[in-house]
Amino acid sequence: MKEITNKDRVAKSDRSIREERPDLADRFADLAAQDACDNLFPKRIKSLRQDLDIRQNEMAMILGVPLTTYANWEQGRSFPSVDRLPRIAAFFDVTVDYLMGANRDTVNRRIVEQLAALSPEQRQAVELVLSSMNSSKKSSKKTGKKTR
């Protein structure tokens, strides 16, 4: 008799939910795409570090962790705590979603869907806020100050 694993149970419940909720098809496709990405975090932090021409020991010092800890993150042997992720993302000027391997197309599609649901006045307000943020970010890069 074959033993039913937890993975089998999840797959079975996943199928039944898919059948009951066809309106969630896009969400299930997004999950499948995310699963296919595996764990992109190690590849992303290594690539970002190398793009800035920073050595692993320097990166460990910047983040306040031992070199072995940082090296293990890049090799996928361990993972930083959730409270460290925003600091890492801020240093590299990326989002935590990006570090974690979020699919940009999925994120962008959801943003576009949310913007489409707004009234013209609301969209104009969002554009004004984004424009203001971009202006603030550009001026802070010129002066070397970070905005909050």
Query: 117 and 79 in one domain?
Result: no
Give a yes or no: residue 52 inside a domain: yes
The CATH number assigned to the domain holding 49 equals 1.10.260.40
Contacts with 40 (C-beta within 8 Å, 6 or more apart), sequence order? 100, 101
* Same domain assignment for residues 94 and 117: no
User: Are 47 and 94 in the same domain?
Assistant: yes
**Which two structure tokens, joined as six digits, stand for 111?**
């943003």
Q: Angle at CA 122, nearest 5°, toward 120 and 126?
A: 115
Residue 79 lies in a domain: yes
Q: What is the pLDDT of residues 9-51, one digit of tens each?
A: 555 566 778 788 888 887 777 666 666 556 789 999 999 999 9
Please give the residue range of the domain that contains residue 90.
41-100
pLDDT on residue 147 = 46
Give domain status of residue 120, yes or no: yes
Please indicate, yes or no, if residue 64 is contained in any of the structural domains.
yes
In a domain, 28, yes or no: no
Q: How many CA atoms lie within 13 A of 20 on its CB side?
A: 6
User: Does 121 lie in the same domain as 70?
Assistant: no
Q: What is the pLDDT of residues 93-135, one digit of tens each?
A: 988 988 988 766 666 777 888 888 999 999 899 888 888 887 7
More confident residue, 4 or 54: 54
- Is residue 141 assigned to a domain? no
What is the C-alpha separation between 44 and 29, in angstroms, rounded?
A: 23
Same domain (yes/no): 114, 94: no
96 and 110 share a domain? no
Quick one: the chain helix, strand, coil %, rounded to 5?
75, 0, 25
Number of domains the chain is built from: 2
Q: Does residue 45 lie in a domain region? A: yes
